[in-house]
Amino acid sequence: MPAGNTGNLSGTPIPAPRWQTNYTATYSFGAQDFADANIGDISVTAHYYWQSRYLADLALVANGAAQRTSPYGLLNLQVLAADLGRPGVDLTLFMHNALNQKACIPEFNGTLNSAPNGSFNTPGTSGVLQCIPLPPRMSGLSLEYRF
């Protein structure tokens, strides 16, 4: 054991979400014809991710309740047109974080982090919640050509 690591952390929860769940649903319309374009398949996918708040021993930290993270859910959507006009050409429209959920995940590196620690009363540290914000709503288009 390295010098200085003499504490007993038995029973201390690892700072991670207690619960996480994923749900994915896809509906396929099959081959379609639009004007002069033949499409091999059109599918719509919705993916939802949810997690509970992060577990941590907040009793050891001054102002520990201010470091509690909230549960959140993210919805991602996708529409795929496979074999668009010819085999091997796929067009995908996507939207990540479709509900524009504002959330953040704890930053565990360095002195300033949101994993509960004793930095609130330590000179030279911020003493505020440090978290990495998740990206806001993002939409895009992807064109793939396989040959």
In a domain, 1, yes or no: no
DSSP for 89-147, written as a single string:
EEEEEEEESTT----EEE--SSSS-SS--SGGGSTTS--S--EEEPP--EEEEEEEE--
Query: Which structural domain range is residue 27 located in?
Result: 20-139
In a domain, 97, yes or no: yes
Domain count, the chain: 1
List the chain residues with pLDDT less than 70. Answer: 1-15, 55-69, 106-131
Q: Report the pLDDT value the prediction gives residue 32, as an integer from 0 to 100.
A: 82
In a domain, 3, yes or no: no
In a domain, 11, yes or no: no
Q: Report the pLDDT value the prediction gives residue 18, as an integer from 0 to 100.
A: 83
In a domain, 12, yes or no: no
In a domain, 144, yes or no: no
Q: Report the pLDDT value the prediction gives residue 115, as an integer from 0 to 100.
A: 47
Q: Give CA separation, 108 vs 50, 69, 92, 94, 113, in Å.
A: 21, 13, 35, 30, 5
In a domain, 46, yes or no: yes
In a domain, 15, yes or no: no
